[in-house]
Amino acid sequence: MSDGQNLVTEDVTVVEGDVATISCRVKNSDDSVIQLLNPNRQTIYFRDFRPLKDSRFQLVNFSNSELRVSLTNVSISDEGRYFCQLYTDPPQEIYTTITVLVPPRNLVIDIQKEIAVEGEEIELNCTAMASRPATTIRWFKGNKELTGKSEVEQWSDMYTVTSQLLLKVGREDDGVPVICLVDHPAVKDLQTQRYLEVMYKPQVRVSQNYPVQGLTREGEPLELTCAAFGKPQPTDMRWLRVDDEMPQHVVVSGSNLLISNLNKTDNGTYRCEASNAVGKSHADYMLFVYDTTATTEPAVHDSRAGEEGAIRSVDHAVVGGVVAVVVFAMLCLLIILGRYFARHKGTYFTHEAKGADDAADADTAIINAEGGQNNSEEKKEYFI
């Protein structure tokens, strides 16, 4: 936009095919003539008269202070500068610029492989053709935005944008839409999408039908069921015993395994395998058969339950051993203390009767003993 002394106008941005409105306004009207010219400086309107034969231009408002004109079905050829003129002395002129936006003509996603296998990296390309200005392409997988790499090609006044997306697919992507969305000032919410189709090997799960809860005991039955899901659906399913032959009394019927009378020889790992065109998968069930008198239920019904019982037994044995050592040590200490006190008490009595052993008779012994006590007292006094 250019500034005239007494004229006001604004630039116009319009989407191709829409209506553009040009307004030439006078700030301080003095009844001077207003006219509007096209980019080739041809007069579109002189006051309220239209010399130009293009009927797409229509008068919206005319007064001493404004000339407002509409242009319908705008095309790229209409883009450029339009001039507002005011016939004063000297004449005044101002221009407004019409910018035409062109939305993408088409939005297409091309996918490298219609059907992918989990773990593969596939290439997707989204193309937005013939837009103006160049469009911005954004990628989404579900609700998560991804990053692509775009290239822009210009043809005359139009731009074609192609965005490439490299995507490593997994089984969780099967059936998920990949969306190509356009950011462009001429259009809102323009997007297209393709749904991913991903093949993946089976997912296998083994469940225990009987016993529903509790231990697997000798003499009781065991029934297992194998469920497998994949794309395509698994066509081959089989039971086997890991690192050993399947017991002869085991009955396998389709996805079910039945042991009608459990015994200790049935202990081991039982595997269900399933396969399809993509690959093979398996799930294991670890069986531990308990005695009929067993009452403690393991946290996990597999071979580890026996190991946990052994660990608990070892813990009790260690505690018992520690207690026995402590008791033995205390007994030894009591014996030693008893012998010590007994020895000191005997020595005291011996000194108390010192001198009586050499006496000829009892009276002499008593006299000698008393004398010994006196001597002892004298010695005590001497030392004091």
Question: What does the pLDDT profile of the chain (384 residues) look like in tens digits?
Answer: 444 468 999 999 999 999 999 999 999 888 899 999 999 999 999 999 999 999 999 999 999 999 999 999 999 999 999 999 999 888 999 999 999 999 998 999 999 999 999 999 999 999 999 999 999 999 999 999 999 999 999 988 899 999 999 999 999 999 999 999 999 999 998 999 999 999 999 999 999 999 987 789 999 999 999 999 999 999 899 999 999 999 999 999 999 999 999 999 999 999 999 999 999 999 999 999 999 887 655 433 333 333 333 333 334 445 566 777 777 888 888 888 877 776 655 444 444 444 445 545 545 544 454 444 444 343 333 332
- Nearest CA to 184 out of 128, 127, 145 is that of 128
Domains in the chain, CATH or no CATH each: 7-101 (2.60.40.10), 106-196 (2.60.40.10), 200-287 (2.60.40.10)
Cα(38)–Cα(54) distance, rounded to whole angstroms?
A: 11
Cα(104)–Cα(40) distance, rounded to whole angstroms?
A: 29
Q: Any bridge partners for residue 284, and if so which?
A: 271
pLDDT at 28: 87
List C-alpha distances in Å: 22 to 49, 98, 166, 295. Answer: 16, 9, 47, 93
pLDDT at 353: 45
Identity of the residue numbered 227: A
pLDDT at 378: 39
Cα(15)–Cα(131) distance, rounded to whole angstroms?
A: 11
Identity of the residue numbered 144: K
pLDDT at 46: 96
**Cis check: omega of the bond before 234, within 30 degrees of 0:** no
Give residues with Cβ within 8 angstroms of 324, minimum separation 6. none
Cα(141)–Cα(120) distance, rounded to whole angstroms?
A: 16
Tokens 């009987």: give the residue: 210
- Tokens standing for residue 383: 């030392």
Cβ(321)–Cβ(307) under 8 Å? Answer: no
* Secondary structure of residue 111 in the 3-state scheme: strand
- Tokens standing for residue 82: 């339009």
